[in-house]
């Protein structure tokens, strides 16, 4: 019997208790199918990729999307200054601004 995806996820994330982990890891050693499932589950975005099933979006839809994106107002790139801005000196904190101690009341 194969462990469910929930169990595999629990083992992958370290949430399962030790006996279950040992059981599952022992099973994974002899079961390529579950190893593949485990690899998918532990991939970043693996669960999402499985849902897509390798299908690409229809080209017409894709072209429409690209056209929409191209027509979106793009943020204007910041104009490069002709001269380097001078470094800002650190502002010293005047002693009066420091928190006074012992005068609470
Ligand atoms: Zn299995």
Q: Is residue 34 part of a domain?
A: yes
- What's the pTM? 0.42
Q: Is residue 5 part of a domain?
A: yes
How close is the Cα of 102 to the center of ligand 1, in Å?
69
Of the candidates 47, 52, 49, which has an alpha carbon nearest to the alpha carbon of residue 8?
Answer: 47
Q: Is residue 90 part of a domain?
A: no
Q: Is residue 79 part of a domain?
A: no
How close is the Cα of 37 to the center of ligand 1, in Å?
9
How confident is the model at residue 3, as a pLDDT?
93
Q: Is residue 89 part of a domain?
A: no
Helical ranges in 1-105 per DSSP H: 5-13, 18-30, 32-42, 46-52, 59-71
Total count of domains within the chain? 1
Q: Is residue 16 part of a domain?
A: yes
The parent domain of residue 48 ranges over 1-53
Q: Which residue has the tokens 């200054």?
A: 81
How close is the Cα of 23 to the center of ligand 1, in Å?
11
How close is the Cα of 24 to the center of ligand 1, in Å?
9
Q: Name the band, by pLDDT with cuts 50, 70 and 90, for residue 98.
A: low
Q: Is residue 14 part of a domain?
A: yes
Residues 6+ apart with CB under 8 A from 100: none
How close is the Cα of 25 to the center of ligand 1, in Å?
10
Better pLDDT: 52 or 100: 100
Kindly report, residue by residue over 12-66, the tens digit of the pLDDT. 888 899 999 999 999 999 999 999 998 888 876 655 555 555 556 667 777 887 8
How close is the Cα of 10 to the center of ligand 1, in Å?
15
Q: Is residue 72 part of a domain?
A: no
């Amino acid at each position: 019997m194969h462990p469910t995806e929930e169990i595999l996820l629990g083992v992958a994330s370290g949430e399962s208790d030790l006996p279950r982990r040992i059981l599952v890891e022992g099973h994974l050693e002899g079961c390529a199918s579950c190893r593949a499932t485990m690899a998918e589950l532990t991939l970043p975005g693996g669960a999402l990729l499985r849902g897509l099933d390798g299908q690409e979006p229809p080209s017409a839809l894709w072209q429409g999307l690209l056209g929409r994106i191209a027509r979106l107002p793009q943020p204007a790139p910041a104009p490069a200054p002709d001269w380097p801005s001078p470094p800002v000196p650190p502002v010293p904190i005047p002693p009066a601004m420091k928190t006074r101690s012992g005068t609470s009341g």
